[in-house]
C-alpha cells in the first residue's frame, strides 16, 4: 500500500468545521468530476474554500472529504474523527436514513477518487482507494456493507459517475476491499439472505455446519451484541452463543444457533455459499 500523506487543511467554516464525528458508520466513495486533476489539487481546492467571503455576492460553497486518492498518492486532508462536508443533501435515501443518520456527514468518512483526462478511474487509483478503504475498514471494525457510494447515500447525485454508469465496478471494489482487508477470509464468502435480501458476509463451514461472522450479522439484523473480553464469551440479545468461535481474528457463530435465538429458520443447501434466514 502507498504511504498516506498527511496534509490537513486548515480548520474553517467552509471545508473543515473541526467538529467531531458522532460515530463512524460508513466509508463513502466519490469521484472528483475534475478530469486530469491530481489528489493534491483536490486537497488544495478544499483548503482554498476557506478564502470565500460570506459577505460578498458570490455563492459560497461548503465541501471537504477526508481523503483524495490518485494513481500515485493518497492524501489525508481531514482527520478521520472530524466531520467532512461530502454527502450533505436536502434529501437522503431511505437506506441511508435508516442505516446512517439524518445527517450522514456526522458519521461517515469520505474518499475522493481522482479521474483521468478521459474521465475514467484509473486501475491504480481504484486499487489505491481499495487499499485505503480496507485499512479504514479494519481500524473502524467495519464490514463490506458499510462501504457506500455518494449516490447510495443521497440518491440523486451521480457520484462516482463511472460506477453509476457501470455498477459492477462498485461490486468489484467492495470485493477488492474485502480481499485486501481479510486476505484469508475472502474464500469462502457466503451469501446470506435475510427476508429476501442478499448480503455477502464472511462464512465458513466447521464440522459440516455453516457459520457466519457474528459482527456482520449483528449489523445486518440490527441485534444487540456483547463480547466479554476476559471470558471470550459472546452474547446476542443477552443470550450466550454456545457455538461462538474465533477464527483468524473474526468471531463466527453457527448460523442455526443464530437463527434459533432470533426466532428464524434456516435454509441451507449444504454449500458454504448460500444461507437463507426466513
Bridge partners, residue 240, by sequence:
235
Distances (CA, A) of 97 to 63, 129, 186, 215: 21, 25, 29, 21
Q: Which is nearer to Zn ion, 113 or 220 (CB)?
A: 113
**Closest separation in Å from C-beta 107 to Zn ion:** 16
**Closest separation in Å from C-beta 141 to Zn ion:** 25
**Closest separation in Å from C-beta 239 to Zn ion:** 41
Q: 29 with 144: CB under 8 angstroms?
A: no
Distances (CA, A) of 178 to 13, 120, 133, 135: 35, 23, 9, 10
Site for Zn ion in 223-242 (CB under 5 A): none
Instruction: Give the distance from CA 2 to its chain's centroid.
Output: 20
> Cell numbers 473474526 correspond to what residue?
250
Answer yes or no whether residue 174 interacts with Zn ion by CB under 5 A: no
**Closest separation in Å from C-beta 164 to Zn ion:** 10
Stretch that binds Zn ion, among 145-153, 182-190, 242-250, 251-259 (CB under 5 A): 145-153
Q: Which is nearer to Zn ion, 153 or 253 (CB)?
A: 153
Q: Which is nearer to Zn ion, 104 or 251 (CB)?
A: 104
Site for Zn ion in 116-135 (CB under 5 A): none
Stretch that binds Zn ion, among 23-31, 91-99, 115-123, 211-219 (CB under 5 A): 23-31
Cis peptide preceding 188, ω within 30 of 0? yes
Answer yes or no whether residue 151 interacts with Zn ion by CB under 5 A: no
**Closest separation in Å from C-beta 155 to Zn ion:** 12
Task: In whole angstroms, give the CA distance from residue 244 to residue 263.
Answer: 18
Q: 78 with 8: CB under 8 angstroms?
A: yes
* Strand, coil or helix: 107: coil
Which of 150, 174, 204, 215 binds Zn ion (CB under 5 A)? It is 150
Total residues in contact with Zn ion, by rule CB under 5 A: 3
Stretch that binds Zn ion, among 41-49, 122-130, 152-160, 231-239 (CB under 5 A): 152-160
**Closest separation in Å from C-beta 154 to Zn ion:** 8
**Closest separation in Å from C-beta 151 to Zn ion:** 8
Answer yes or no whether residue 30 interacts with Zn ion by CB under 5 A: yes
Beta pairing, strands 74-76 & 67-69? antiparallel
Task: Give me the sheet containing 189-194, strands edge to edge.
Answer: 245-247, 250-254, 209-213, 197-206, 189-194, 274-277, 266-268
Which of 142, 159, 216, 218 binds Zn ion (CB under 5 A)? It is 159
**Site residues (vs Zn ion, CB under 5 A):** 30, 150, 159
Amino acid at each position: 500500500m502507498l504511504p498516506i500523506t498527511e496534509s490537513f487543511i486548515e480548520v474553517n467554516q467552509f471545508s473543515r468545521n473541526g467538529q467531531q464525528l458522532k460515530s463512524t458508520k460508513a466509508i463513502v466513495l466519490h469521484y472528483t468530476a475534475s478530469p486530469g486533476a491530481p489528489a493534491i489539487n483536490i486537497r488544495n481546492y478544499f483548503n482554498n474554500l476557506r478564502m470565500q467571503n460570506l459577505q460578498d455576492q458570490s455563492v459560497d460553497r461548503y465541501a471537504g472529504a477526508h481523503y483524495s486518492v490518485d494513481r500515485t498518492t493518497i492524501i489525508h486532508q481531514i482527520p478521520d474523527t472530524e466531520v467532512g462536508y461530502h454527502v450533505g443533501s436536502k434529501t437522503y435515501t431511505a437506506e441511508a436514513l435508516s442505516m446512517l443518520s439524518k445527517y450522514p456527514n456526522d458519521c461517515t468518512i469520505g474518499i475522493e477518487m481522482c479521474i483521468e483526462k478521459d474521465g475514467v478511474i484509473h486501475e491504480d487509483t481504484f486499487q489505491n482507494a481499495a487499499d485505503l478503504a480496507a485499512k479504514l475498514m479494519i481500524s473502524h471494525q467495519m464490514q463490506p456493507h458499510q462501504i457506500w457510494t455518494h449516490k447510495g447515500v443521497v440518491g440523486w447525485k451521480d457520484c462516482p459517475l463511472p460506477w453509476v454508469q457501470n455498477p459492477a465496478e462498485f461490486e468489484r471494489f467492495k470485493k477488492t476491499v474485502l480481499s485486501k482487508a481479510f486476505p484469508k477470509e475472502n474464500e469462502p464468502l457466503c451469501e446470506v439472505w435475510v427476508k429476501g435480501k442478499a448480503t455477502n458476509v464472511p462464512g465458513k463451514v466447521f464440522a459440516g455446519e455453516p457459520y457466519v461472522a457474528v459482527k456482520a450479522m449483528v449489523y445486518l439484523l440490527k441485534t444487540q451484541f456483547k463480547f466479554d473480553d476476559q471470558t471470550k464469551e459472546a452474547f446476542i440479545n443477552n443470550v450466550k452463543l454456545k457455538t461462538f468461535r474465533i477464527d483468524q481474528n473474526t468471531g463466527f457463530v453457527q448460523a442455526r444457533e443464530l437463527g434459533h435465538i432470533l426466532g428464524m429458520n434456516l435454509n441451507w443447501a449444504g454449500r458454504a455459499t448460500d444461507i437463507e434466514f426466513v
